[in-house]
């Protein structure tokens, strides 16, 4: 039961819970999933997970279509803005974007095209939605990917230490520090970082760019360095507010492990404390954490909306916000789908490879 309440701690960890209770994937001690031992059973399990993911993706597709139809506003009026347009022009635009069709027909068309990766044409950019997304995707992946690697490293490292030294000054400090940063609104932290480190305050000079991903110009190494320079503050912001999750889950799963009988046995054998930790506790405790990592990665993509907004990062988050205010329906739908799909895919990936990673299963 304890594993149940751990993830409840933090909303983003929710996915772990689903993964761990959802199927036969082992949640606790290894011996609970005998089925995963045999290959065929595993394949059946994996196929089930993939099928589930496909159903979820479809459900998301449906939601993305209908949810945003509720946004008040006629897209054609939005597109024409305050300009004078003839009724024929309006009719032509409706035809162009397929808005003259009945809703169900629009829906089937949307689904059919979405399967081929075609999400239609953006109202405001007059470009294929997929083009806009593939343009913005690298920026988001770069930002979230970098942040992900760093906060995962910090989170696991500090989480393991904290758990092993449960109750010590170091543990208390880390937990408190992480929880504090976790409670901080990310956009606020970003703004403060801009005020202090980017604009400069008092004796502190402005050292980092205030926004954007690149200054433009330069190639090769200079370009890489330029982007790296622009990335520092957004990455720091993301890492600061995100690493607490990893830390806390790593910490609690290691604490769980520490209560296990096999560790007592290991200790009883007279193994060194360090060795017990490295050899037994940490690898086992890593399992739930690994699951969490995938879920984190999926969520971070969506969670970057704020950071991207504050730092003018040209990624998906900024695009989503921009598209919502128009509302640029095709773009909003597609982005919503992409965000949800990221989480679903990561969850499924975690589900599928979880049994493979478990050292106590099928090694």
# binding residues, another protein (CB under 8 A): 160
- Footprint on residues 177-216 left by another protein (CB under 8 A): 177, 179-185, 187-189, 191-192, 194-195, 197-201, 204-216
Contact criterion met (CB below 8 Å) for 238 and 304 = yes
Does the footprint of another protein cover residue 32 (CB under 8 A)?
no
User: 63 to 122, contacts with another protein by CB under 8 A?
Assistant: 63, 67-68, 70-74, 76-78, 80-81, 83-87, 89-90, 92, 96, 121
Query: Is 346 in contact with 297 (CB distance < 8 Å)?
Result: yes
Instruction: Show Cβ contacts of residue 53 under 8 Å, excluding neighbours closer than 6 positions.
Output: 344, 345, 347, 348
Taking CB under 8 A as the binding criterion, the range among 34-42, 43-51, 102-110, 342-350 that sits at the site for another protein is: 342-350
Per-residue contact flags (x/-) with another protein for residues 237 to 256, judged by CB under 8 A: --xx-----------x--xx
Measured between alpha carbons, how far is 195 from 165 in angstroms, rounded to an integer? 37
Compare residues 40 and 94 and give the one whose CB is closer to another protein.
94
The torsion angles phi and psi of 181, rounded to 5 degrees, stand at -65, -35
In angstroms, the Cα distances linking 50 to 223, 342, 351 are 40, 14, 9
In the complex, the smallest distance separating the C-beta of residue 180 from another protein, rounded to whole angstroms, is 6
Judged by CB under 8 A, the stretch of 32-40, 42-50, 107-115, 222-230 that binds another protein is 222-230
Looking at the DSSP assignment, which residues form a beta bridge with residue 128? Answer: 121
- CB 114, min distance to another protein, A: 17
Note whether 134 binds another protein by CB under 8 A.
no
Residue (38 or 111) nearer to another protein, CB = 111
Q: What burial letters (b/e) apply to 166-178, b meaning 16+ CB within 10 Å?
A: eeeeebeebbeeb
Q: Does 235 bind another protein (CB under 8 A)?
A: yes
144 binds another protein (CB under 8 A): no
Dihedral, CA atoms, 132, 299, 329, 321, nearest 10 degrees?
-80
Residues 155-184 that bind another protein (CB under 8 A): 156-158, 161, 164-177, 179-184
Closer Cβ to another protein, 110 or 336, answer by number? 336
Please identify which residue in the block is written with the tokens 């492990």. Answer: 257
When the beta carbons of 112 and 218 are compared against another protein, the nearer one is 218
Return the number of the residue (47 or 127) whose C-beta is nearest another protein.
Answer: 127
Minimum distance of another protein from residue 246's CB (angstroms): 12
On whether the CB atoms of residues 144 and 231 are closer than 8 A, the answer is no
Determine if 362 is a binding residue for another protein (CB under 8 A).
Answer: no
Using rule CB under 8 A, residue 21 touches another protein: yes
Question: Is residue 259 near another protein by the rule CB under 8 A?
Answer: yes
User: Widest CA span of the chain, in angstroms?
Assistant: 87
Stretch that binds another protein, among 31-39, 101-109, 312-320, 350-358 (CB under 8 A): 312-320
| Segment near another protein (CB under 8 A); pick from 41-49, 111-119, 234-242, 350-358 | 234-242
Distance of alpha carbon 260 from alpha carbon 246, whole angstroms: 21
DSSP-derived letter for residue 1 is -
Q: Measured between alpha carbons, how far is 136 from 215 in angstroms, rounded to an integer?
A: 17
The residue assigned the tokens 């939601």 is 63
Query: Looking up tokens 């998906």, which residue turns up?
Result: 316
CB of 44 to another protein, least distance (A): 19
The single residue among 130, 147, 293, 305 that binds another protein, judged by CB under 8 A, is: 305
- Residues paired with residue 200 on neighbouring β-strands, in sequence order: 205
Q: Does 149 bind another protein (CB under 8 A)?
A: yes
Closest by alpha carbon to 57, among 327, 328, 355, 348?
Answer: 348
Residue nearer to another protein on the CB measure, 39 or 100? 100
């Amino acid at each position: 039961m304890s594993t149940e309440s751990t993830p409840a701690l933090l909303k983003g960890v929710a996915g772990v819970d689903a993964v761990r209770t959802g199927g036969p994937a082992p949640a606790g001690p290894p011996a609970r999933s005998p089925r995963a031992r045999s290959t065929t059973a595993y394949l059946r399990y994996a196929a089930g997970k993939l099928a589930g993911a496909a159903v979820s993706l479809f459900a998301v597709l449906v939601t993305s279509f209908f949810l945003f139809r509720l946004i008040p506003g006629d897209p054609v009026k939005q597109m024409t803005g305050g300009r004078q347009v003839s009724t024929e022009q309006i009719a032509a635009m409706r035809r162009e974007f397929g808005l003259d069709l009945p809703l169900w027909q629009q829906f089937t068309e949307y689904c059919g095209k979405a399967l081929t990766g075609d999400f239609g044409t953006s109202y405001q950019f007059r470009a294929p939605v997929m083009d806009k997304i593939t343009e913005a995707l690298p920026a988001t992946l770069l930002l979230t990917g970098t942040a992900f690697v760093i906060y995962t490293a910090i989170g696991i490292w500090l989480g393991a230490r904290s758990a092993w030294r449960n109750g010590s000054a170091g543990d208390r400090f880390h937990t408190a520090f992480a929880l504090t940063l976790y409670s901080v609104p990310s956009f606020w932290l970003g703004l403060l970082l801009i005020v202090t480190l980017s604009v400069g305050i008092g004796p502190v000079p402005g050292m980092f760019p205030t926004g954007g991903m690149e200054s433009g110009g330069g190639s090769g190494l200079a370009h890489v360095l330029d982007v790296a320079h622009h990335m520092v503050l957004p990455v720091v912001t993301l890492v600061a507010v995100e690493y607490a999750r990893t830390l806390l889950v790593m910490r609690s799963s290691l604490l769980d492990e520490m209560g296990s009988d096999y560790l007592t046995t290991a200790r009883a054998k007279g193994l060194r404390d360090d060795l017990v930790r490295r050899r037994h506790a940490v690898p086992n405790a890593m399992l739930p954490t690994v699951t969490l990592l995938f879920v984190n990665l999926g969520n971070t993509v969506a969670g970057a909306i704020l950071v991207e907004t504050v730092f003018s990062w040209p990624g998906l988050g900024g695009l989503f916000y921009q598209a919502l205010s128009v509302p640029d329906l095709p773009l909003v739908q597609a982005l919503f789908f992409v965000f949800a799909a990221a989480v679903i895919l990561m969850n499924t990936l975690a589900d599928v490879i979880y049994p493979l990673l478990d050292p106590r299963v099928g090694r």
